[in-house]
Amino acid sequence: MDGTPGAPASLWSGPDGPFAHFSPTDICPRDMHNRFIPIRRTVRIVFQYLMASPLTSDPYERDQLFQTILDRRAAILIAPISTVALAAMVVYHTSAWWPLLWVIAELVLTAIRWKVMVEANNAPPEKRRESANKLLVFGTLWSLLLGVAIYLCMASGIVPLIVVSAIIGTAAACVVTSRNAAMPRHALLLLIIIAVPFAAGLAGSPIPGMTVASMLIIPWIASLYLFIEQNHASMLRMIKAERRAHTMAITDELTGLFNRMHFAERRVKLDSRAPPKAGYCFLSLDLDGFKEVNDKYGHPAGDSLLRAASHRMLDSVRLGDAIFRMGGDEFLFLLPKANDEDCARIASRLIETMTAPFTLPNGEIVTIGASIGSACIDASLTEAMAVLHAADAALYRAKADGKGRHVHAAA
């Protein structure tokens, strides 16, 4: 059935990354290019390490963790307000020029980060994973600028600057523990980038006693990172629970196949594809003789027969095909990238495997069969429901013609 999304591609090495169509040999000798290879490899490893979760390597769960960062993107709009306020105070007390550069850099980084996050939020999962690399870089640069500004304020010895910069630094660290908990290793890096200049500024402050205060940074970082780990674990538990709940909601409890609810979701996705839609076909299948077995041997025997028949169905389709139990002994097959010949081949295999004898839990051996109707999307059938109705009509013809056969809806 449907496969699991692949592992996230790196921004630096992915097919759509900035280095995908670029060779350093275009601007530098080959020996210099060879020297860059270990550097690029190291950068890629560092990025993958910082982005990875220590608790899961599942691509879906990692993507959902990253989605929590995108959902909290409004927080980055608050930072420039604090930056401008602190920069104005620095100019007022010292007449220094560097706050102006800090404000400009802050606004540019905020605009870039916001743009990347908005684009990532509207992009498919594989594109969001690529955007994570960019956000990691720009988020680190933002923290570095904040750390430098806090150091300069702390080292100035001016009490108002020390107090306000301490408040802003603490607030930024608290935001990191919540917003960036999806990537705990990167969050720890951001805390260190903010806290180390904070401590260095305290240690270098002309105000007596600040050196002792700077030593509190170590337990401060440790306690915040503990909170990050707890927040990360809590996020992951919620994602896993939501995933289990959704899986249960779209799965038929008896057979383990997809149910009618999931077909409704897939139908919407099929119809939402931009024309021309990728070719797909539906197979509508009824089990012949199932009602007689169910009536004769009881519902437990009928349930066992449905489970066994479902296993045979799964063994008869291609990787990527989806099977839905629509109710009772009615099943629907979605065949992506299929045509009339694929329908005929899979239907023949299904009819053959369904006619083989089944052994019930009580030892009784029974024989049933299958009637199948199929239809494919084409110029006259442009919507999923139209294709489904055509497949159902073909199934009725197959049953009327004597059952145990396959009828394909002609274009």
Percentage of the residues of the chain whose pLDDT score is greater than 90? 70
pTM: 0.76
Where is pLDDT greater, at 275 or 331? 331
Q: Across residues 127-146, what is the average pLDDT? A: 88
Question: pLDDT tens-digit profile of 34-49?
Answer: 665 678 888 888 888 9
**From residue 28, how far is each of 17, 23, 33, 130, 314 by CA, in Å?**
20, 9, 7, 27, 55
Residue 159 host element (H or E): helix 159-179
With cut-offs at 50, 70 and 90, classify the pLDDT of residue 92.
very high
Residue 311 CA to residue 314 CA, distance in Å, equals: 5
Give me the mean pLDDT over the 175-187 stretch: 93
At residue 94, the pLDDT reads 93
| Longest distance between any two alpha carbons in the chain, whole Å | 98
Is residue 128 very low, low, confident or very high in pLDDT (cuts 50, 70, 90)? confident
Whether the per-residue pLDDT at 5 is higher than 60: the answer is: no
Q: What is the DSSP string of 298-314?
A: -HHHHHHHHHHHHHHHH
pLDDT at site 35: 63
pLDDT digits (tens, 9 = 90+) for 322-344: 999 999 999 999 999 999 999 99
The overall average pLDDT reported for the chain is 88
Confidence of residue 277 (pLDDT cuts 50, 70, 90): low
- Residue 206 has what pLDDT? 87
Between 377 and 4, the higher pLDDT residue? 377
Query: Residue 387: is its pLDDT beyond 90?
Result: yes
Answer whether residue 234 shows pLDDT above 70: yes
pLDDT exceeds cutoff 60 at 275: no
Q: Find the range with the poorest average confidence among 4-8, 181-185, 398-402, 405-409.
A: 4-8
Cβ(240)–Cβ(313) below 8 Å? no
State mean pLDDT over 286-310.
Answer: 96
Q: Helix, strand, coil: what percent of the chain each, to 5? A: 65, 10, 25
Question: Cβ distance 66 to 181 under 8 Å?
Answer: no
| Sequence spans of domains, the chain | 24-247, 258-408
**Highest mean predicted confidence (pLDDT) among 35-44, 122-131, 394-403:** 394-403
The predicted pLDDT at position 15 comes to 43
More confident residue, 380 or 221: 221
pLDDT band at 13 (very low <50, low <70, confident <90, very high): very low
pLDDT for residue 350: 97
For 70-111, what is the HEC assignment?
A: HHCHHHHHCHHHHHHHHHHHHHHHHCCCHHHHHHHHHHHHHH
User: 380 or 197, which is more confident?
Assistant: 197
Fold of 258-408: Alpha-Beta Plaits (3.30.70)
